[in-house]
Chain A
Amino acid sequence: MEINKHYFDTVIIGSGLAGCRAAIECINHGTVGVLSKLYPTRSHSTAAQGGIGAALGNEEEDSPEWHTYDTVKGSDFLGDQDAIEIMCYDAIPTIIELEHMGVPFSRTPEGKIAQRRFGGHTRDFGKAPVRRACYSADRTGHAVLFALYEQCQLKGVKFFQEFQVLDIVIENNKVQGIIAVNIKNGSLHIFESKAVIVASGGYGKVFKVTSNAYASTGECLSMLFRQGLPLEDMEFFQFHPTGLYGLGILITEGARGEGGILINGKGERFMERYAPTIKDLAPRDMVSRAILIEIREGRGIDGKDYVYLDLRHVDKKILHERLPEITTFCKIYMGIDPSEAPIPIVPTAHYAMGGIPTDNDGRVLRDIDGSIVEGLYAAGECACVSVHGANRLGCNSLLDTVVFGRRAGKSASSTLKNAIKGKVKKERISLIADCVDMIRKSNGKETVASVRRDLQTAMMDKCSVFRKEEELSVLLEELQALKERYKDISITDKSTTFNTELLDAIELGHMLTLSEVIASCALHRKESRGAHCREDYPKRDDENWLKHTFAFQGDKGITLKYKPVKLTRFKPEERKY
């Protein structure tokens, strides 16, 4: 077996916003290798549309304190307030720095970074909407990702594109490096390092209807979980209110920020009933629930399972200049011009609030007591700091990636001097190689596609916006059955060259693991908070549940522990908008 060995001081998994931002920090202190299973700029960060939040105050008065409050309240008080404060205050220099790196932000008439309204962004602690979202038309993620990737190129970061990570090697509570396969020719590669930063993004593909890319499958989280490390708050998964009906393609919240409204089958602007003050700009969990209640109560369009996002009254010039991308999506995929016809929408699985637990400097936690894994860091959607708590506010995901990507990069770099180079043992490599070979040679009765489809359908039906004990219990049984079926899959492509069928199979195994974690955490949290809505426990229960879930892989299945939320300035209050 031929093995290619590499050494970098820091190895980063993922080349989206968090990975690239971390790399820019690390390259000043040592060698950096970044792995991506795609070409770097194809990372799903590029699909982020509406904006990145920072209280720059370019368009109207704003403050990082209000941003902090909005984020805490948006999180339904589950976000750790010390981390949220760091993010909202760091936001300003971080965005300015992005501009200096070349991000082509849209501009105000005076030439400053333009800002617009977004869901849950308010002035003066909830009094009225505020313009806080910095944007580049409705292609903000694309604009930021390209600038960061370009700066990485300028600074000499080494990229390994189309490399799939197979294992993150941790031994004696220290990260040793990673094992990956070069997708192009199937060759195995070992990357030893002093530090590993996981920035592998989300896992929306466990749901049937999602705004996420095919690549958003979450294998790195599962790899850590299977080695006994915890995953935090996995029951909290955000459904974005406005996905294109039938496709799940995202229509940015910026569309409502620019004046778009939601209407039901009776032509009512129904958000007035659910959030009288900020209406259509309420946080996503509330708007998604409102849409599904309207549909359930027969007020969908023509009684069907969707409602309309109406942009017909929005100035055509604004559509053209600030929302060109979503205008094009509507034309291409639905055959409609949003200036003339309302857009059929339905909530779509969008963002994982939960993930790999970290401290405020990106260090991966191995337990609820704050102990860490030496040399291991995580940032971005795969991580859980937690700044989003039970529900993320729009524009805080891009902000999270750059703020905590930067912080993770800084803290990884600061320990390089005294860190020992990792070593990946031969036995571990053989084990992984054998595993991959075994999957390649599988000749069972099931196909990857059928197991994946049934998984996505089960998760969508029983673990999406509304949840109940009975359904979650059934789901967990179904997941066991799916895991059995997975053992009996068949791979028809036996080749080593660009074997995407094999990669799909590997990803599916990890998706099954993650789904079980999500469902278990959801079953046990007996309250409704943020995106986790239990119909059998419809109220938030601060007395018993103001705490983070930590899920571990035990000998006999998943075990759960709980960790208190860090409350600093804001006491939990009823969440009204």
Chain B
Amino acid sequence: MSKYYTFKIKRYLPDENPKIRWDVFRLKLNSMERVLDGLVKIKETMDGTLTFRKSCAHGVCGSCAMKINGKNRLACQTLVKDLPEKIEIEPLPSLPVIKDLVVDMTLFFQKNDKVLPYLINEEPPPERERIQSPEDQHKILESITCIMCGSCTTSCPVFWTDKEYLGPSALLKAYRFLFDTRDRAIEERLEAVTGEHGVWRCHSIFNCVEVCPKEIDITKHILKLKRLAVKKGFKGGPE
């Protein structure tokens, strides 16, 4: 079943005109099609300059996060039939816009780099795999599903006001290694996440949880991170 939808899209084409404008496109889409299909259709048949990121088109690569009807989501995972007939699309908030729906994610990725985002274990490895019980593996199960799309951090009011705040995505990454029984860098990593712009700044606003396309309960992970920090003697934070 096809239906007409109106896509109202926030445009920024710096080579053409540095002013932001809103363009409206009307197009027919069927009930299986996604917002990304709509964007592709517009680019293919109405306006070749419309610019957005895309790749896997089924919610695993994290390229096409954008703000759709006021909420950060993946365009490839949002079916038009689940939205009202008027669809308003903007780039992810609070990051510099490069062009149209493409934001500069450098700052977002830099935060990730700060939490030592890799398994650290300098002990000589055993001949076979390191043993990890299914229960221990389950502790990190949810956190490893993150696709780094940026929906969470850019929806966080703390990040909006403090651009140095590590933000939900990087804190989740820290959790992923801190709770991995194979990792040996607990102290260094806790040091990295408990600074002035670290874990204590999370006020459990839950915006991140609400927008996460992989339905990760990020706030729960951050709370566990705080508890671990306290247990290990990393108290305090900003007054």
Contact = CB atoms under 8 A, between A and B. Distances in A.
A493 B55 contact: no
Contacts of A42: 55-56, 61-63
Nearest to A159: B109
Interface stretch (B40-48, B186-194, B198-206, B226-234): B40-48
A435 interface: no
A99 to B, nearest CB: 4
Contact of A213 (B61, B133, B136, B141): B61
Interface in B20-35: 32
B87 interface: no
Q: Which 7 A-B pairs have the closest CB atoms?
A: A102-B119, A449-B44, A495-B15, A492-B48, A150-B118, A111-B131, A42-B61
A450 B180 CA distance: 49
Interface in A35-76: 38-39, 41-44, 46-47
Interface string A88-108: 000000001001111011111
A457 B219 CA distance: 46
B99 A497 contact: yes
- Classify the interface of chain B: helix, strand, loop or mixed: loop
B95 interface: no
Contacts of A101: 119
Contact of B57 (A99, A108, A214): A214
Nearest to B37: A247
B2 interface: no
Interface string A165-191: 000000000000000000010000000
A145 to B, nearest CB: 10
A215 B119 contact: no
B118 A102 contact: yes
A415 interface: no
Contact of B109 (A39, A111, A491, A494): A39
Nearest to A498: B99
A315 to B, nearest CB: 16
A104 B140 contact: yes
Contacts of B62: 39, 41-42
Quick one: which of A111, A147, A449 has the most chain B CB within 10 A? A111
Interface of B: 13-16, 32, 43-45, 47-49, 51-52, 54-63, 77, 79, 98-99, 102, 104-105, 109, 113, 117-121, 125, 127-134, 136-137, 140-141, 144-145, 147-148, 177, 180, 182-183
B57 A333 contact: no
A333 B59 CA distance: 11
A143 B118 contact: no
Contact of A498 (B59, B102, B144): B102
A25 B172 CA distance: 28
A422 B60 CA distance: 37
Interface residues of A, number: 61
A153 B112 CA distance: 11
Nearest to A58: B129
A205 to B, nearest CB: 11
Contact of B129 (A39, A99, A246, A492): A99
A353 to B, nearest CB: 21
A112 B132 CA distance: 7
A136 interface: yes
Contact of B137 (A106, A325, A493, A495): A106
A182 B228 CA distance: 42
Given A39-B63, A47-B61, A333-B32, A491 B144 contact: no
Contact of A47 (B15, B45, B52, B58): B58
B77 A498 contact: no
Given A102-B180, A136-B144, A449-B44, A111 B132 contact: yes
Contacts of B49: 492-493, 495, 501
Contacts of A153: 113, 117-118
B56 A213 contact: yes
Interface of A: 38-39, 41-44, 46-47, 96, 99-102, 104-113, 136-137, 139, 142-143, 146-147, 150-151, 153-154, 184, 213-215, 246-247, 249, 325, 328-329, 332-333, 447-450, 491-501
Nearest to A112: B129
A496 B147 contact: no
Contact of B13 (A136, A215, A328, A495): A495
Contact of B15 (A96, A137, A142, A497): A497
B43 A501 contact: yes
A497 B45 CA distance: 21
Contact of A332 (B77, B129, B140): B77
A39 B141 CA distance: 23
10 contacts: A39-B109, A39-B148, A43-B61, A100-B129, A102-B119, A247-B32, A447-B48, A492-B47, A500-B52, A501-B43
B132 A107 contact: yes
A47 B98 CA distance: 27
Contacts of B59: 328-329, 332
Nearest to A502: B48
Contacts of B136: 111
Given A113-B129, A329-B58, 4 more contacts: A249-B57, A332-B59, A447-B48, A495-B16
B118 A38 contact: no
A7 B230 CA distance: 46
A150 B55 contact: no
Given A46-B60, A111-B131, A498 B55 contact: no
A147 B119 contact: yes
A150 B117 contact: yes
Given A492-B48, A498-B99, A96 B140 contact: no
B15 A496 contact: yes
Quick one: which of A99, A153, A498 has the most chain B CB within 10 A? A498
Given A106-B137, A107-B134, A109-B134, A44 B118 contact: no
Given A101-B119, A151-B118, A110 B131 contact: yes
Contacts of B104: 184
Contacts of B148: 39, 41
A417 to B, nearest CB: 28
B71 to A, nearest CB: 16
